């Protein structure tokens, strides 16, 4: 007989649960399940929280017939339609979000895929963003091919978003203008191009809990490291306009089960979070550790400022989670490069010796010119070596993340804590 405790210990020991074991969690005591999921999250992911925002880079008139979507051209909705937004608007929006502490900025466009001409256009916008704003750029441009993803990577994109939406079994009930296999082919093409992938689905579109579990196992097989969990926000004019909205407890169970199946990934609350009375707080205590902040594509969201305050209260630290997030590197065995993070900048490699020596660990930001494993959050322009297990150090969190103006005190405390000089 499977119990929450036995499955939790199995995962914490480094094993994976199978589908039968995951299904047993459907009827587990909710509080016990959520507490165990949070323990798994703490073990593998610590206190990091991956926060991103999105811009609706091209809106409406979509050729696809996804039943939940306000942008599908076949449904009578009130969504505004417009072509690719200008570079100036993207840069302005990216800068605004970066200044608010957001670490990832995602450009999302409607349609089955961008055209070759549109890809060239948006690549120029991405290059400008990367030149002028210190923020990671993610994209959701539809069912592209490997050569398209390679161009985007060269322009500065680090991650591609492509939701599976639901299980293979249920997908034909959601969309008939493209296939599940087309989605999986696009995900694998992005991965071959060297990009990480963000992929998840929408809950409450008529699927069963078994469908949700099946999708999670597909994502695990694909090696996806960021999993958006959307809750349907029924839109007038779409076929799902009268669909029942899920409860907070239903969403808690979903993210908790996902944490058991996907112990090391970023489980990201996305669309629909604003419908929850607590704006997702209980889910963030049940295994979720990432979110889309700000407005969604066609619906209002939660402000970045409100989310940052929430994260502080919950004890989370905004930071990027890597492709190998949660592999529990023992930083006590890592040798520092000697020049701390400024040394990494001088080498312009994006890596320091410590990162390289930790079991070949390579963050997804390699080559960006800064070691982001051994550095504080970038918006404060403070860098310190994080060779303790915590990132950032327990004793530095309050000062560094919530009072960025006292750099000298930050550095003095870092020097005392680690026993060697730090420079900014």
Q: How large is the average pLDDT for residues 177-187?
A: 97
Question: Which of 318, 350, 385 marks a domain boundary?
Answer: 318
The pLDDT score that the predictor gives to residue 218 is 97
Cis preceding linkage at 392, omega within 30: yes
Q: Which of 413, 17, 388, 403 is nearest to 213 (CA)?
A: 17
- Residue 176: pLDDT above 50? yes
299 and 335 assigned to the same domain: no
pLDDT band at 76 (very low <50, low <70, confident <90, very high): confident
- Give pTM, 2 decimals: 0.77
Residue 338 and residue 260 share a domain: no
Q: Which residues pair with 202 in a beta bridge?
A: 230
Q: Which pLDDT score, from 0 to 100, does residue 377 have? A: 29
Question: Which of these, 192, 175, 223, lies nearest to 324 by C-alpha position?
Answer: 223
Count of domains observed in the chain: 2
Whether residue 324 lies inside any domain: the answer is no
Residue 403 lies in a domain: yes
The CB-based long-range contact list for 114-119 (8 Å cut-off, 24+ gap) reads 114/58, 114/141, 114/142, 114/144, 114/148, 116/148, 118/58, 118/84, 119/144, 119/148, 119/151, 119/152
Average pLDDT over residues 223-230: 95
Judge whether 389 lies within some domain.
yes
Q: In this structure, is residue 323 part of a structural domain?
A: no
Torsion (CA) 47, 246, 231, 143 in degrees, nearest 10? 130
Instruction: Clarify whether residues 275 and 349 are in a common domain.
Output: no
266 in the same domain as 336: no
Q: What mean pLDDT value characterizes the chain?
A: 80
Phi and psi (nearest 5°) for 96?
-60, -45
Greater confidence (26 vs 71) lies with 26
Residue 302 lies in a domain: yes
Q: Do 239 and 201 share a structural domain?
A: yes
The pLDDT value given to residue 418: 46
The reply to whether 132 and 188 lie within a common domain is yes
The mean per-residue pLDDT over the stretch 115-119 comes to 96
Is 357 in the same domain as 400?
yes
**Distance in angstroms (rounded) separating the CA atoms of residues 424 and 422:** 7
Assess if residue 424 is contained within a domain: no
**Cα–Cα distance, 280 to 407 (Å, whole number):** 33
Q: Say if residue 257 is in the same domain as residue 220.
A: yes
| Contact of 401 with 326, CB cutoff 8 Å | no
When mean pLDDT is compared across 41-50, 80-89, 317-326, the lowest value belongs to 317-326
Pick the last residue of a domain from 318, 345, 379.
Answer: 318
Q: Are residues 239 and 388 in the same domain?
A: no
Mark whether 159 and 263 lie in a shared domain: yes
pLDDT digits (tens, 9 = 90+) for 119-170: 999 999 999 999 999 899 999 999 999 999 999 999 999 999 999 999 999 9
CATH number of the domain bearing residue 163: 3.20.20.70
3-state SS, residue 10: helix
Residue 422 has pLDDT above 60, yes or no: no
Within this chain, do residues 313 and 347 fall inside the same structural domain, yes or no? no
| Residue that finishes a domain, picked among 295, 318, 341 | 318
Rounded Cα gap, residues 90 and 96, in angstroms: 10
CB contact at 8 A, 424 and 382: yes
Domain that holds residue 270: 6-318
Summarised one tens digit per residue, pLDDT across range 205-217 is 999 999 999 999 9
Strands of 244-323, DSSP E: 266-269, 290-293, 317-318
Model confidence at 299: pLDDT above 90: no
Q: 60 in a domain, yes or no?
A: yes
């Amino acid at each position: 007989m499977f119990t929450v405790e036995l499955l939790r210990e199995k995962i914490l020991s480094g094993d994976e649960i199978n589908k039968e074991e995951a299904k047993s969690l459907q009827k587990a005591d909710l509080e016990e399940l959520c507490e165990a999921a949070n323990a798994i999250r703490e073990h593998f992911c610590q206190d990091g929280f991956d926060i991103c925002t999105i811009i609706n880079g091209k809106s409406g008139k979509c050729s696809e017939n996804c039943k939940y979507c306000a942008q599908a051209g076949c449904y009578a909705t009130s969504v505004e339609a417009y072509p690719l937004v200008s570079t100036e608007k993207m840069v302005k929006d990216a800068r605004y979000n970066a200044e608010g502490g957001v670490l990832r900025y995602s450009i999302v466009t409607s349609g089955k895929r961008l055209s070759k001409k549109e890809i060239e256009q948006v690549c120029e916008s991405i290059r400008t963003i990367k030149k002028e704003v210190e923020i990671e750029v993610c994209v959701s441009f539809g069912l592209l091919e490997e050569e398209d993803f390679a161009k985007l990577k060269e322009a500065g994109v680090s991650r591609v978003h492509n939701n599976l939406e639901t299980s293979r079994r249920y997908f034909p009930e959601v969309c008939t203008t493209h296939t599940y296999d087309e989605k999986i082919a696009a995900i694998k093409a992005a991965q071959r191009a060297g990009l990480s992938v963000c992929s998840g689905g929408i809950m409450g579109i008529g699927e069963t809990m078994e469908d949700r579990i099946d999708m999670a196992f597909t994502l695990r097989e694909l090696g996806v490291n960021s999993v958006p969990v959307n809750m349907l926000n029924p839109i007038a004019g779409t076929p799902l306009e009268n669909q029942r909205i899920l409860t907070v407890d239903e969403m808690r169970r979903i993210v908790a089960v996902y944490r058991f199946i996907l112990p090391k990934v970023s489980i990201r609350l996305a669309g629909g979070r604003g419908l929850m009375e607590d704006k997702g707080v209980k889910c963030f205590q049940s295994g979720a550790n990432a979110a889309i902040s700000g407005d969604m594509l066609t619906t209002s969201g939660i402000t970045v400022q409100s989310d940052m305050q929430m994260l502080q209260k919950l004890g989370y630290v905004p930071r990027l989670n890597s492709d190998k997030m949660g592999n529990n590197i023992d930083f006590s065995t890592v040798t520092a490069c000697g020049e701390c993070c400024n040394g990494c900048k001088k080498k312009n490699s994006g890596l320091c010796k410590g990162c390289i020596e930790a079991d070949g660990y390579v963050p997804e930001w390699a080559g960006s010119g800064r070691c982001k494993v051994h550095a504080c959050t970038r918006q404060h322009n403070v860098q310190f070596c994080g060779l303790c297990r915590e990132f950032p150090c327990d004793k530095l969190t309050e000062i560094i993340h919530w009072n960025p103006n006292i750099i000298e005190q930050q550095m003095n405390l870092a020097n005392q804590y680690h026993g060697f000089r730090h420079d900014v």
